[in-house]
Amino acid sequence: MITANEWPKRCTCCARPYYAGEWTTLSFVGYMDDGDGGRLELRNCSCGTTLSIAIEMGLSWALAGDLAEVLRCDARELAGCPPQYAWPPQSKRVVSADDEQESVRLEKIADELSEIAKRGWYVDED
Ligand SMILES: [Zn+2]
């Protein structure tokens, strides 16, 4: 069951309120099943507590796969990797810690999108 999210979402530990626009700025942890057919997105509050919101899977597996590709490219660029087919081969650029962190965040999202895409390639027969 998918339940509507109520904003602001309050941290269960420090009671800090988060509005929908702020939610995406929190550090992304991952997704999990809610045990009832729905899915939860997990992110960390600034106090370190993991919070969750219910999400809808309004994304086709094909689009999820494309998005994963795009995010992976961005993540590689942020991490300072040279273009994949650069010739002569270039060495990795030095990047700021912020870019490095953002790259890791994008990779995590790309991984999750790839999982959604895979579920489309192999349709379960119930
Ligand atoms: Zn908190």
Task: Please tell me whether residues 116 and 76 are part of one structural domain.
Answer: yes
Average pLDDT, the chain: 85
Quote the domain boundaries for residue 75: 60-126
Q: In total, how many domains does the chain have?
A: 2
Mean pLDDT of 95-108: 94
Distance 42 CA to ligand 1 centre (A): 13
Residues 6 or more apart from 64 whose CB is under 8 A from it? 113, 114, 116, 117, 120
What is the whole-number distance in angstroms between the Cα of residue 1 and the centre of ligand 1?
26
Ligand 1 center–CA 41 separation, angstroms: 16
Residue 125, pLDDT above cutoff 60: no
In this prediction, residue 58 carries a pLDDT of 63
Domain check: are 68 and 52 in the same one? Answer: no
Q: Region 17-33: what's the mean pLDDT?
A: 88
Q: Are 4 and 24 contained in the same domain?
A: yes
pLDDT exceeds cutoff 80 at 93? yes
How many whole angstroms from 107 Cα to the centroid of ligand 1?
Answer: 25
Residues less than 5 Å from ion ligand 1, measured at CB: 11, 13-14, 16, 45, 47, 49
Name the domain boundary from 40, 56, 72.
Answer: 56
Instruction: Please write the tens of the pLDDT for every residue from 29-73.
Output: 998 988 887 888 899 999 999 999 887 666 677 788 889 999 999
| Residue 2: pLDDT over 50 | no
Residue 124, pLDDT above cutoff 70: no
> Both 125 and 64 in a single domain?
yes
Residues 89, 120 within the same domain: yes
Is 126 in the same domain as 65?
Answer: yes
In whole angstroms, give the CA distance from residue 12 to residue 101.
Answer: 26
> Same domain, yes or no, for 39 and 73?
no
Same domain, 72 and 108: yes
Percent of the residues in the chain that have a pLDDT greater than 90, as a whole number: 45
6 and 43, same structural domain? yes
Hey, what amino acid is at 58? G
pLDDT band, very low/low/confident/very high, at 121 (cuts 50, 70, 90):
low
64 and 102, same domain (yes or no): yes
Q: Residue 118 pLDDT more than 50?
A: yes
Same domain, 32 and 52: yes
Q: How many residues does the chain have?
A: 126
Residues 16 and 31 in one domain: yes
How many Å lie between the centroid of ligand 1 and the Cα of residue 59? Answer: 29
